[in-house]
Amino acid sequence: MVSKNPGIIREVDELGWTPLHYAALGGNLEATRVLLQLDSDASYILDKSGISALHVAAYAGCTKIMEEMIGCRPDTCDLLNDKGQTILHAAVLGEQINVVNYILKNHKLAGLINEVDNDGNTPLHLAARQHNRKIITTLTHDRRVDKTAINEEFSQAVDYFLGDNLGEQVCSNIHGRIFV
C-alpha cells in the first residue's frame, strides 16, 4: 500500500497519528523499517498532543522500535510532547522498566535523565507519583539521577512517594512539636 501511495506515510488520522505511530504502538519492526526507509522525516510528525512515534514506542515498551528510530533519526530523542515530556517521561508513564533501563544504559540518551516537563517534574517525580517501586529503584540507583530536584509545586520525588497520609502525619507531628 505504501509503495503505491508513498504520501500515505504523512497522512494523519483524527488523533494526528501517522502509520509510523501505529507501527510503533504495535511493535511492528518490519513496518517501522519500511516507513523509515521511505520517509524518515515522518519521525518528526507529532500528533495533536505533541506525541511522536518515538514517544509511543517508549510508552508501549518497544525498545527495538526505539533503536530503529533513534538509529535513523537520532535527534528525535529531543522531541517533547505538549507537556514538555521526553521519551523517558513517556516510558515512566507507561510503566516500562525495560525502556527506562534502555535509556539509562545508552550514554547518548543521558541528557534525558533529569529533564523536567512543563510542571518541573523529572521522570523520577512521575515514577514516585505512580508509586512504581521498580522504576523508582532503578532511577534512584543511578548516580546521575538528581534525587533532590524540586518541581513547580516545590516538591521532591520523595514527597509523592511518601503519599498524602504519611506527609500529613509528618506535618502534623512537626506542627504539634513546634506549636504545643
What CATH number is associated with residue 60? Answer: 1.25.40.20
Determine the structural domain holding residue 73 and report its residue range: 1-82
pTM (predicted TM-score)? 0.87
State how many domains the chain has.
Answer: 1
Cell numbers 533501563 correspond to 101
| Residue 106 CB-density burial (10 A; 0-12 exposed, 13-18 middle, 19+ buried) | middle
Residue 45 placed within a domain: yes
Residue 159 placed within a domain: no
How far is the C-alpha of 174 from the C-alpha of 180, rounded, in Å? 10
Mean pLDDT of the chain: 89
Residue 118 placed within a domain: no
Residue 154 placed within a domain: no
Residue 8 placed within a domain: yes
pLDDT digits (tens, 9 = 90+) for 55-105: 999 999 999 999 999 999 999 999 999 999 999 999 999 999 999 999 999
Residue 113 placed within a domain: no
